[in-house]
Structure 1
Amino acid sequence: IRRMISGYQKRDGTNGTTNLATTGRTTLPTWAATFQNRNANLSTNQQGPPVNNAYVLGRYIEDYDFLNSGDLDQHNGRRCVTPEFPGGTYAYFVTIAADGTPVFPYAMGREYYGTPAGGNVNSITEPVTLLFEGGAEKGSSIDAIQTGNDEITLTWKAVEGGSYQLETSPSLRGGSWKTTLSSVNPEQDKLVVDDKTVALSRNFYRVKKAAVAPYDDSGFVDNNIFTTTYTFRFPANLPLPENINSLTVGAQEVSLANISSYDRSTGIVTLCFNSTTLPDGDHQAVINSTHISENFFSIGGQKNILLLIIDDWGIDASPFDNPTGIALPKLPNMDALVRRGLRFTRCHSQPLCSPTRATILTGRHPFEHTVGNPSNSSILPTSELTLPEIFTAQNSRFGMAAYGKWHLGGTANAPSVRGGWPEFAGIRRGGVTNYTLWDKLENGTTTEDVTSYTTTDQVNEGTDFIVSQGTNPWFLWMAFNAPHTPFHSPPSNLAPVGGYSTSGSSNSDQYIRALEALDTEIGRLLTVVDLNRTNVIVIGDNGTPGQVVQAPFGNGHAKGDLYQGGIHVPLFAVGPDIRITGTTDKLVHCVDLFSTILDLGGIDGNAATAGFSTHSQSLLPIFHGTDTASRCVIAEKFGDNNGNGRALISDVYPDYKLIIFGDKDDISDTPIFELYNLPSDANEQTNLLLSPLSNEAQSAYDHLLAKDLALGGGYSDSPAGSFDTIYIELPNRTGPTSPPNNLSVNPTAIIIDGQSASFVAREDSSGTAQRYWVKCSLTPGTGGPFTSATVTFPNNPNTGGARSFNSTQIIANP
């Protein structure tokens, strides 16, 4: 049982609403314009007063927009099952805030649900049960008279909260009425009066309503009506009772009627209880006085935060997200976390590792924190405000450390100077050339030729840090470089129980074994973690590398791309603050971990980041099952030779994705737009913009483009000068001297009639990805014709041979 959340929200500029405090009351929300059959843009004489202290936001119904983001529809109702309608019915709901105060639209929207039908009703012939009647206008009428023992008791129907006068008269004549009792208060809606003088005289009686108590608009005094819903886990390997005869949470007895589900086979019990009466601390549930839950319901006290970032891990390589995949690793330790936690099916990252790390650290998009790729735009500015810097500034009690991969540029002191970490040990760059012979950076000092396996070394650092914290709360950032290249065979002692799942020597085989070894070491790390007092978050930093990517992705769509193969990553969380378990399809992004971690650390993110423009939406409401936010994914890449641009997905049109390919820093660059329907085209092969759009697709495109323009960044800006768009066909041949089969390998140089051109994509003039075609732009534009072109790729990694090709066909400005 819980409150139903309205889909209406004040138009205050959040969650995509118009900020009336800025624009004035010059427009109507969509629902109001439809209901009033008026244009949403109001003329001057139709506009409302400005938002101020006299006309506060929320004074008018048009101050609210309907976002369809809650439990209830535009009519403030929904279909549900009630005791009176076990088969289900449509019902309206009274909407209240968490403290019990009424919130818009209070009882129902401006229109009834459905279509009214029938004629006038002049009488009710069916049996009627009166459940409640009240209100200040309710009249008073005699309900019962009892006599005996020289006493009369009179009962009137009255207004609850009213105050009455009792008057008596011996004759009903004018002037004969006298006030016998000046103030009588009813019990609920019954006013009861006793008269012990009845034996001495004959009287007529009447009551007058003198006053009504003021309306209570301050919320419920007794907050005990608000209950907490929580899931407890009991050991499933022990026989649990067939029936629950008693259940306690801490010292509180829980009514058996408040148990919503009980599964003996899994040991899962979900129940409601009043958490306001429990003291601070960790509280276990107990069944029948003998069976104790494995997990705790915690009140007060700070919980540890453990963030595990797994390198180059897209959903295609995750057995939890892609169970039908061709080649998947065995990950028993992460599987145990997934089973007891919450897994996100629609989490996204940036397409490359450095931008993802900077995004999580700052809560800002790449165009803001300026880290666009790991090579040319990879240094995190010292002016950025990072998570550890906020924890330090807020005098947090959390001990903090980061281990593993830094990869955000700067000198040997960068993790401290740029990242704010008081403790760092790991690698400075994107990877190592050898997992058992590498240079280790530790708090500004580099040790060369370390021979311990990198993953093992990182977990050694992590376990030592956790143990050293004792009972103090801690925040640990574990940024593993596994299973990043080089593909390799990890130590045999790190195999899961039963051995590695593959023994081959292919890139895919070695990639899988590196993941399995990582899972083993994560299991070792978790042996020193108290999961009842630690919130654990696990995320992939970008998609799977192109050499090992598998269905549903491929054909050039992998790590480094704005396509789903480059940004759709695993995310799951488990811990005392993750109260919802199972899976959620909420649309989330790595940027959201910034405010989530602040929330888990008990830090007010809005106050801590005042003066900084952040775009992070905490996952805590999702963890608690109360999320109503409107969410949007923004992924970016810039400063690279290929695939620069921005991708957008919004939960307003969740099936559609817009990609804007363009160089935000090149005023001569022409943006290229692609729109995809993800449910029907998971690998984004059919650009909907190449054909007429359906009404829904057009609305989605308009919405996403408006999001891009509102966000800024310059990706969709039109070019300032002239240019030519050119498609170059390469020789159609195979073998070591052929154009690279991996479409994520981009040219290093393109020369057209002696001029250098800018690479755009490896695709033909229809927009189809092609091995033997290269799309580029030439500035300034001349319109052609063009007679010759040479395209050069990186040398063949296997033979070292050069790969430079003369064009077989040139198409200009098709």
Structure 2
Amino acid sequence: MTQRQARPLLSATLAAAALLAACSDSGSGSSAPDGPVASAKPNILFIVLDDLGVDQMTAYGYGGAAPARTPNMTAIARAGVLFRNAWAMPDCTPTRATFFTGRYPSQTNVLNALVATDLANSAPSPYEMTLPKLLKTEGYTSALIGKMHLTGSDLNGAFNLPHGYDSMWKLGWDHFDGFLDGAPYNIDTRAGLATQGADVDSGPYKCGFVPTRRIDAVNGADAGACYFAGGGCTQLAVGGDVVTPGRTCMERGGILDPGQSCQASAPAYIDFEAQNGYYTGRWVKSSANGGGYVVPASDPSSRGYRSILETDRALAWAGQQPADRPWMLTVGYSAIHTPLQVPPVALIAQDTPGRDDNLVCSPLADSERTPGLTQATDLIDGHLITNLMIEAVDRKIGDLLVGLGLARYKDDGTLDYHPERTNTLVVIMGDNGTYVNSVKFTAPGRFDPTRAKASPYQTGVWVPLLVAGPMVASPGREVPHMVGSVDLYRLFAEIAGADADTGIPAGQTLDAQPMLAYLTQADQAGIRSTNFTEMGTNFRAAGSSENESPCVIPAANNVCTTLFPQKGVCLAQGGIWYGDNLSPETSGVPAEGYHNCCQAQAYRAGRNESTTFLPVTTKAVTDGTFKLVRQTRNQCDPAMGTASDPGAYRYSTTGFDIRDELYRIDTAVPSPALDRDGSELTAITAPPLDTATLDPGQQQAYERLKSEMERHDSVADYHWNYDSTNCPGDGNHDGVVDRQDLDNWRELSQLNGAQSSWYDFNHDGRTDATDQMIIQNNMGRTCRGA
């Protein structure tokens, strides 16, 4: 039976479930109230977790020696289906684009996490048939709350943001209330006090609030005046529920003036403009008519812990939706992306280790002040705060379900969730593996922090995927078969009764495979024969490499990258910055800094410090048992060690270093077979691998995987060269250069100062007459698919 043939049966099943939900006990001990008839089509609640891999999840049998408490996600897993073998892309923007386009990064050129210096050509295109547009054909309204990082930001003059604050509306969402930035800003170590310096990194308060004197005898305070952005002040002191006045004030959205009394107005040095990690946000909002605008961090509504605000805003939107129209609500929680910051104590169980202990905020816990204990201190603090943040977001996921009327809390605080009584599909997925310092490397699991987020290895791409809803047969089970983040596009289309291939131009194909049958049939066999993941390098304007700056991240095997456009972003990732505005640890580096990783490598080699390069492209394909990894890295010119001045080195223009690696993997509990360094089945070499030492079964698996990898390479090459060679002038990628392209160019050339757009064919950062000429010169051209 085809998926299209199965839709009428599914629709009938969901309609019956909706009727049952409207007429049965709501799960709270009272009948459902009278009101509009619920939509027969199911609502969809899609929750995306940031940088949270399976290594953190006790529901998967892992979590390390000291796991985070996740009772609500465990309850959801037990009420639905746990997908044991789900892959994402190695980092966030590429994965999130797969959710909403159904295509791998190499088809869309959304290849890496978007930063302000990337061209719009590497952002999801408004000309795509995105998921919210597709669901709209079936009567759905859609909202996106929180973090999704599908566009650039307005840093550096909105270089890569043609539609400005209406960008998410242009991608199809009826309502957006969230962040264009990819992560919370750095923690304000001044705790909002300009007296501590002009830079948020210049203060002594590493947790973003003023600790008590017991924690910091020099800079701490046991009392003070707590000022609020909207006006008003509250006097706070240690006692009763107030354990740390500075933390209590921050959790309430305020800034503590330590040791002072409230004045009629806040002193000038109280800085509400600066962001402070998870306790502020620069929210962007748009509605069904566009009209996007910014709510700055200084606005009272933008201050408070992100997991709380993200949940509250989601509930506020859902509460306004008519009962007779289906909706899809996507909630992108910011947690647990860096910077790691302690959450409000109200979200943490009283007996959770570290709940009230602010020792992580002590100057003695600062690695720069404890020589010899750098890694141990950072690791202990990182794991403790990560656990607290995961418990906090798990609590808010429970609050979200309860607030939506999908569940209730029992008297003992546990979640009472019966999806069969609802008309809502609930999907929870991570966007990539855990980031280095948060990875659980102890048993059970023993994941690999040196091969974490931003790598194609298991720790970097193996993520939780939990699904619950009225259509799930035999809930409480696991699905062992391979699925990918890209498959959610087709799942959501199937649930809505939409044809997932609608609006896909001829010559293009969806990478998404069907997965609804895994929900409705407990004995469904595997659908995918392979799974795939990839990450690359986004388009940047010609010559921009001269302004790039290296960042070396010690905890990630000393990997060097030029992805981060600012020093603060590098430092927030635990990195060492080699650009301008240098630190004492980079003494001897020129004042203007370095501009490529070859220069940083040469400098570090002179200090006997190792360096690896983040790959230009990284890909992996698996058949579920064997896994082929292919990584492409820059080479240096001249050869390393042949020049005396580190500044003399450049990336080679004659080629790249390409390496293949073959592993055996599984998803066993409690100790999965991971693709660790040294576990490769044969020597790591340029493709093809020497398979002489492999047995016949391994050789056959390698040949199949190599063929699949080469197919993906061909697709990537076609789309990378689409604007320049394969279809210049076709900015909307519909396979033909026509009058619509001229109209689109004309619109975009008048927006955003005619900077970067999807019609910047020569990738110079301008949408100008040169690009118009490319369209005119190719008018009428049709282009084959990849």
Structure 2 runs not aligned, ≥5 long = 153-160, 186-276, 287-291, 361-380, 407-418, 538-562, 564-612, 635-651, 667-671, 684-690, 719-786
Q: Which residue of 2 aligns with 1:400?
A: 142
Q: Which residue of 2 aligns with 1:693?
A: 694
1:591 alignment partner, SS class: helix
Q: Residue 321 of structure 2: which of 460, 469, 483 is its match?
A: 469
- Within a 5 Å distance, the mapping from 1:563-578 to structure 2 comes to 563-578=457-472
The Cα shift of 1:492 comes to 0.8
- With over 3 angstroms needed to count, the CA separation of the structure-2 counterparts of 1:480 and 1:713, relative to structure 1, is farther
| Partner AA of 2:19 in structure 1 | D
Answer yes or no: is 1:630 the counterpart of 2:528: yes
Q: Residue 92 of structure 2: which of 353, 358, 370 is its match?
A: 353
| Partner AA of 1:705 in structure 2 | K
Q: Which residue of 1 aligns with 2:656?
A: 669
The Cα shift of 1:322 comes to 3.5
Answer yes or no: is 1:413 the counterpart of 2:165: yes
Q: Which residue of 1 aligns with 2:435?
A: 545
Distance 2:14 2:431 in 1: 42
Distance 1:279 1:380 in 2: 37
Q: Residue 320 of structure 1: which of 59, 70, 76 is its match?
A: 59
- With over 3 angstroms needed to count, the CA separation of the structure-2 counterparts of 1:703 and 1:467, relative to structure 1, is same
Q: Residue 494 of structure 1: which of 347, 353, 363 is its match?
A: 347
- With over 3 angstroms needed to count, the CA separation of the structure-2 counterparts of 1:497 and 1:465, relative to structure 1, is farther
Q: Which residue of 2 aligns with 1:188?
A: none
Q: Residue 448 of structure 1: which of 278, 296, 313 is its match?
A: 296
Q: Which residue of 1 aligns with 2:674?
A: 682
Deviation above 6 Å: which 4+ runs of structure 1? 275-280, 284-287, 292-295, 663-667, 714-717
- With over 3 angstroms needed to count, the CA separation of the structure-2 counterparts of 1:609 and 1:335, relative to structure 1, is same
Q: Residue 389 of structure 1: which of 118, 126, 133 is its match?
A: 133
The Cα shift of 1:520 comes to 1.1
Q: Which residue of 2 aligns with 1:118?
A: none
Q: Structure 1 vs Structure 2: percent identity of aligned residues?
A: 25
Q: Residue 426 of structure 2: which of 521, 533, 536 is its match?
A: 536
Q: Which residue of 1 aligns with 2:619?
A: 647
Bigger radius of gyration, 1 or 2?
1
- With over 3 angstroms needed to count, the CA separation of the structure-2 counterparts of 1:276 and 1:584, relative to structure 1, is closer
Pairwise CA RMSD: 3.6
- Within a 5 Å distance, the mapping from 1:110-509 to structure 2 comes to 282-283=19-20, 301-323=40-62, 325-374=64-113, 375=115, 376=118, 378-392=122-136, 394=137, 396-410=138-152, 411=161, 412-413=164-165, 415-433=167-185, 434-443=277-286, 444-449=292-297, 450-471=302-323, 472-496=325-349, 498-499=351-352, 503=357, 505=360, 506-509=381-384
| Partner AA of 2:701 in structure 1 | A
Distance 1:327 1:712 in 2: 41
- With over 3 angstroms needed to count, the CA separation of the structure-2 counterparts of 1:522 and 1:667, relative to structure 1, is farther
Query: For each residue in 1:348-368, what CA deviation from the matched residue of structure 2 results, as whole angstroms up to 9, or x when unmatched?
Result: 000001111111110111111
Please identify, of 625-634 and 543-552, the stretch whose mean Cα deviation from structure 2 is larger.
Answer: 625-634
| Higher relative contact order structure (alpha carbons within 8 Å, sequence separation ≥ 6) | 2
Asked if structure 2 preserves the Cα contact closer than 8 Å seen for 1:634 and 1:648, the reply is: yes
Asked if structure 1 preserves the Cα contact closer than 8 Å seen for 2:94 and 2:105, the reply is: yes
Asked if structure 2 preserves the Cα contact closer than 8 Å seen for 1:438 and 1:451, the reply is: yes
Query: For each residue in 1:271-290, what CA deviation from the matched residue of structure 2 results, as whole angstroms up to 9, or x when unmatched?
Result: xxxx9999785348999xxx
Count of residue pairs the alignment pairs up: 442
Query: For each residue in 1:600-635, what CA deviation from the matched residue of structure 2 results, as whole angstroms up to 9, or x when unmatched?
Result: 111111234353421001210111124552342111
Asked if structure 2 preserves the Cα contact closer than 8 Å seen for 1:366 and 1:372, the reply is: yes
Query: For each residue in 1:354-402, what CA deviation from the matched residue of structure 2 results, as whole angstroms up to 9, or x when unmatched?
Result: 111111110111111111111447522333321112223x1x3222100
Q: Which residue of 2 aligns with 1:526?
A: 401
Greater share of strand: 1
| Partner AA of 1:404 in structure 2 | G
- With over 3 angstroms needed to count, the CA separation of the structure-2 counterparts of 1:369 and 1:682, relative to structure 1, is same
Asked if structure 2 preserves the Cα contact closer than 8 Å seen for 1:425 and 1:441, the reply is: yes
Distance 1:421 1:440 in 2: 16
1:688 alignment partner, SS class: coil
Structure 1 runs not aligned, ≥5 long = 15-96, 100-222, 229-274, 718-814
Distance 1:331 1:280 in 2: 28
Question: TM-score, normalization: structure 2?
Answer: 0.52
Q: Residue 656 of structure 1: which of 626, 629, 640 is its match?
A: 626
Greater share of helix: 2
Asked if structure 2 preserves the Cα contact closer than 8 Å seen for 1:660 and 1:716, the reply is: no
- With over 3 angstroms needed to count, the CA separation of the structure-2 counterparts of 1:430 and 1:666, relative to structure 1, is farther
Distance 1:328 1:594 in 2: 31
The Cα shift of 1:468 comes to 1.1
- With over 3 angstroms needed to count, the CA separation of the structure-2 counterparts of 1:715 and 1:643, relative to structure 1, is farther
Asked if structure 2 preserves the Cα contact closer than 8 Å seen for 1:638 and 1:663, the reply is: no
Asked if structure 2 preserves the Cα contact closer than 8 Å seen for 1:662 and 1:716, the reply is: no
The Cα shift of 1:585 comes to 0.4
1:515 alignment partner, SS class: helix
Asked if structure 2 preserves the Cα contact closer than 8 Å seen for 1:382 and 1:417, the reply is: no
Please identify, of 426-435 and 535-544, the stretch whose mean Cα deviation from structure 2 is larger.
Answer: 426-435
Q: Which residue of 2 aligns with 1:48?
A: none
The Cα shift of 1:430 comes to 1.2
Distance 1:486 1:380 in 2: 26
Q: Which residue of 1 aligns with 2:553?
A: none
Answer yes or no: is 1:616 the counterpart of 2:469: no
Query: For each residue in 1:742-779, what CA deviation from the matched residue of structure 2 results, as whole angstroms up to 9, or x when unmatched?
Result: xxxxxxxxxxxxxxxxxxxxxxxxxxxxxxxxxxxxxx
Distance 1:440 1:682 in 2: 39
- With over 3 angstroms needed to count, the CA separation of the structure-2 counterparts of 1:683 and 1:417, relative to structure 1, is same
Distance 2:97 2:654 in 1: 26
Distance 1:352 1:627 in 2: 29
- With over 3 angstroms needed to count, the CA separation of the structure-2 counterparts of 1:666 and 1:336, relative to structure 1, is farther
Distance 1:278 1:406 in 2: 31
The Cα shift of 1:569 comes to 0.4
| Partner AA of 1:592 in structure 2 | D
Distance 1:667 1:361 in 2: 37
Distance 2:664 2:60 in 1: 19
Asked if structure 2 preserves the Cα contact closer than 8 Å seen for 1:304 and 1:535, the reply is: yes
| Partner AA of 1:403 in structure 2 | I
| Partner AA of 2:44 in structure 1 | I
The Cα shift of 1:323 comes to 3.3
1:339 alignment partner, SS class: helix
